[in-house]
Chain A
């Protein structure tokens, strides 16, 4: 059977209360929260986190990796190979970006479902705009991923899909621009309504189903009202149209379709038929039958209740670069060396140390000579990204350069051996304690000379209620 082998959603730790925006800028009080990528997260890191969760539940190895976003790290350089390195995928795995553009994730999913290979589709997006903009208010940041392939241990069996395309101008943003511009919404709303219905009918036909045989559908798109017509039509046919997390997460752009699909599959009982209708410069619809097997998690529903919604609006604006902040009077970090980074690929991107064969001593970063016994070149690779650690001691550094001071830094001892003094993230300084459990997370440490510098940090373990 072909379908979804694994799925994972990643909601960042930080949440912004929409009321904190109106408290500063005025206007009608905002309701609910949106998710916020931390200063050290971007579309790629969140997609990596989601993909790690996706792959955790299976032994299947993809033949190809697609990464989709509307907020790419680079435009010339492809981002997917960075995710490929962080996920420690084999060298014969193809990796490319499905984008930029909102529709990339849905198209990559469509291509994956209709191919014969095992394909990992990962998406992430950081959604924002000028202060007070609808995108700032209604957007959200997230990563999501699905692994598609042949398996007898599927999460969801693929039943059919349909697509519809007709060019029209609804929303646009030039590279580097903060603001996404929009045409009069009524125009796009009506165009999307027709496209979504067409894709939906096409998917039903492909699956050989009537609408009434589908239990739950997620209808996602850049405009809340764009899916209203289809939702009404589905409701009349007895299909449940699920909440799109607008009140808690916001629209997460290129990631939103996969996030909602993951959410559906995480909640589905065996045999339930679920569908995703994604509107993005066209429309794509996908229908699956849940097997009752659940993705590895942590589930999206559990993450909704976690996180920290105490983020100040000013800090949010600073993180997004909307509000320029005065940096500490310290030298900015030098750019990383491309050749040095490539030599240490497994360490830098995969968080792989080395373990001395004879003594078992763990080396982070990997070494050739053991600090116990002194044996030379007698080490095994030691992947540590999924190993939790305990804070042995910690400090808070208000002097070091950071995109968001102060730096919270801890000496972390890994379960089963090994130590790394490393920066903490997703935590306030007053929340850290000796003995705290932490887990590793892939982050963007800084950007210098246009080069995004990725590495790992530690954060409090088992976030999001998992």
Chain B
């Protein structure tokens, strides 16, 4: 019994990602077609070369037909998966395992979300019939609980923490401004963000992820086949996933300053990849900054900062584009936007660009030669969430 991972057994050889936008003129079908076309071209393969497909979408369609019909696939297996906001990572994870198992030579993971057809702002979950006792709080409000708890536990002045959170948003906006695919491309300074009216706890809309439509995709092959398709494949070092049991909502011991699911997923991923000092071994990380306090706490859960130190590290610029460990160099959910099913694959797309040194010059990181990148994708709420951690490398051991 144990989680062993599939380090260096499979590789990513092609990727694509649409612009993340309010795509009033594009449906989920258009977005999938565009992401897949770009991905196939990047690997130099045709759609019929793909032996099996995984489609991640939270609520833009059901079943594999959602992908097979717009792509007009011929007799291929397509598995639709959903795992809250970590749906894109889940599709990718399954495609990697399918190739590692030997069942298929080439698999593709596609993530898509068409969120802007609901008629409402923000994300809205499918109503599942229930007894009427469920919380009706927004995700923003649930994550807003983290900020005062963090301030209280570590003795940070709430006003000071407000500026730290604004700095995280400002950093991600600055990175997104350098990314033509990002939804928001305007730099925002800390003072301007701090002046925005609060909508959930101390959070304003500038502490929240952008809500956008989009799609992203990746092609997975066996590691030994990878160089047939590209001279710079990205190898899978670790894939870990934890579905929380909701104990944080029941347990008075849970203090809203950390996410157990993320900490556990990171621990498993580092074990699989053989990483002992992530802050120095990783070239970069793409993390699930659905709200600014989430990114703050993740720096600790992922082992980048000691407990209680992340706010100071954020202030010191450790996670800036040219800091010790660049985080969300593509703008993150905050600035790139968050089409739920696509986000996990979008994170990998940035690692793909950065480790291959294909990112636009103005945002190419200086640490790429460390050769390892991390993606972290979560879904749910503090106390009750799912968490994915993937580690990706530009070479094999």
Contact = CB atoms under 8 A, between A and B. Distances in A.
Interface of A: 329-331, 333-334, 336-337, 340-341, 343-344, 347-348, 361-365, 371, 392-402, 407, 409, 411, 413, 417-423, 434, 445, 453-455
A371 B245 contact: yes
A399 B130 contact: no
Contacts of A417: 252
11 contacts: A392-B255, A393-B152, A395-B200, A395-B201, A418-B252, A419-B249, A419-B251, A419-B252, A421-B249, A434-B148, A455-B132
A436 to B, nearest CB: 14
A344 B131 contact: yes
Contacts of B135: 409, 421-423
Interface stretch (B73-81, B99-107, B136-144): B136-144
B396 interface: no
A399 B200 contact: yes
Contacts of B254: 419
Contacts of B247: 371
A444 B254 CA distance: 29
Given A395-B201, A400-B137, A341 B120 contact: no
A393 B148 contact: yes
Contacts of A361: 250-251
A407 B141 contact: yes
B122 A341 contact: no
B131 A336 contact: yes
Interface in B61-76: none
A411 B145 contact: yes
A409 B251 CA distance: 17
Nearest to A455: B133
Contacts of B155: none
A331 B120 contact: yes
B250 to A, nearest CB: 6
B148 A348 contact: no
A331 B136 CA distance: 11
Given A329-B121, A393-B152, A399-B140, 6 more contacts: A396-B198, A400-B138, A411-B145, A411-B256, A434-B152, A454-B132
Nearest to A336: B132
Contacts of B122: 330, 399
Interface string B178-206: 00000000000000000000111100000
Contact of A413 (B127, B140, B252): B252
A457 to B, nearest CB: 11
Nearest to B205: A399
A337 B141 contact: no
Nearest to A340: B131
A161 B100 CA distance: 86
Interface centre among B118, B133, B144, B199, by most chain A C-beta atoms within 10 angstroms, is B133
A178 B202 CA distance: 40
B312 interface: no
A340 B134 CA distance: 12
B312 to A, nearest CB: 22
B149 interface: yes
Given A395-B141, A399-B138, A400-B137, A362 B131 contact: no
Contacts of B56: none
Nearest to A397: B141
B309 interface: no
A409 B131 contact: no
Contacts of B140: 397, 399
B137 A397 contact: yes
B278 interface: no
Contact of A362 (B130, B133, B141, B250): B250
A392 B246 CA distance: 17
Nearest to B208: A399
A460 B252 CA distance: 19
Interface centre among B127, B200, B245, by most chain A C-beta atoms within 10 angstroms, is B200
Contacts of B250: 361-364, 371, 418-419
Nearest to A396: B201
B393 interface: no
9 closest A-B pairs by CB = A336-B132, A397-B141, A334-B127, A337-B129, A395-B201, A453-B132, A340-B131, A371-B247, A413-B252
Contacts of B246: 371
B276 interface: no
A333 B199 contact: no
Interface centre among B132, B140, B198, B252, by most chain A C-beta atoms within 10 angstroms, is B132
A344 B148 contact: no
A362 B251 CA distance: 8
Interface in B111-131: 118, 120-122, 124, 127, 129-131
B218 to A, nearest CB: 33
Given A336-B131, A364-B250, A371-B250, A398 B200 contact: yes
B133 A348 contact: yes
Nearest to B126: A334
Contacts of B129: 334, 337, 340
A395 B384 CA distance: 17
B337 interface: no
Given A397-B140, A399-B140, A407-B141, A337 B133 contact: no
Interface centre among B121, B130, B145, B252, by most chain A C-beta atoms within 10 angstroms, is B252
A398 B201 CA distance: 9
B383 interface: yes
Nearest to B130: A340
B136 A400 contact: yes
B198 to A, nearest CB: 8
A397 B148 CA distance: 14
Contacts of A396: 141, 198, 200-201
B120 A421 contact: no
Contacts of A421: 135, 137, 249, 383
A342 to B, nearest CB: 8
Interface string B292-333: 000000000000000000000000000000000000000000
A445 B137 CA distance: 13
Contacts of A422: 135
B251 A329 contact: no
Nearest to B144: A395
Nearest to B136: A400
Contacts of A455: 132-133
A337 B132 CA distance: 7
Interface centre among A394, A395, A397, A454, by most chain B C-beta atoms within 10 angstroms, is A395
